[in-house]
Amino acid sequence: MKRNLFTLALLLTLAAATPAQAGIEFGIMAGMNMSKVNFKDLDRNFSASNRYGFYVGPKVNVNVLGFGADAALLYNQKRLNLGDDYSRTIRSVEIPINARYTLGLGSLASVYAATGPQFGFNVGQTKWTKLFSGEDTTFERKNMNVSWNVGVGAKLAKHVEIGLTYNIALSKYAKTINRVSKLAGGSDDAVTVPANYDFKTNTFQVQVAYLF
């Protein structure tokens, strides 16, 4: 009897878990950049120390019998930490382009997995100077950076999509173009040393989209 019930439940699950039907969907997506994700204490995900910034913009999903792609045009704002006591907010336009597979779970829900490149274009300040301990350093923000997305999510009630993405940096956000170190002994003289700071960061992204 138990074996028959298990077989019936398995058949019902396989029948429900069918690829989503073909179609093109447009929507609006918004989300939050985070340094890490905590599944035990959800409140920590929204603490000020964990928030890197936000993003928002239009997106499109293309689906053909479960296989498809998604793309978006996003305004993105992220905080870049430069040392323990200094951070810089960087602004960019991000274009993620992901291949995805969607699995339907009945008429009210589906789940998906997606992966693909993301291209970021700087729209903020390109240079800034920071006084570290004993030195002035000038940084230059790169005009473009590339990262890679790996994500999963679910679609509910045919219109609301929620997801979690890990964004892996493939290129640097900024580099040093000049370092001037102060000489010991309180001298006003300074010496220029080779520039060797650069910055890249991986980011968790929590997102919500409404599809029309």
DSSP 184-198: TTS-S-EEEE----E
Looking at residue 57, its pLDDT comes to 96
The helix (run of H) or strand (run of E) holding residue 207 is strand 203-211
Q: With 70 as the cut, is the pLDDT of residue 49 above it?
A: no
Q: Band the pLDDT of 5: cuts 50, 70, 90.
A: very low
pLDDT of residue 197: 59
Question: Does domain 20-211 match CATH 2.70.70.10?
Answer: no
Q: Please, which residues bridge with residue 18 across strands?
A: none
Strands 87-104 and 127-132, by their bridges, are unpaired
Give tens-digit pLDDT for 156-171: 988 999 999 999 989 8
* Reported confidence tier of residue 134, pLDDT bands at 50, 70, 90: low
pTM above threshold 0.85: no
| Band of residue 1 on the pLDDT scale cut at 50, 70, 90 | low
Domain residue spans of the chain: 20-211
**Average pLDDT along the chain:** 77
> Does the pLDDT value for residue 50 go beyond 50?
no
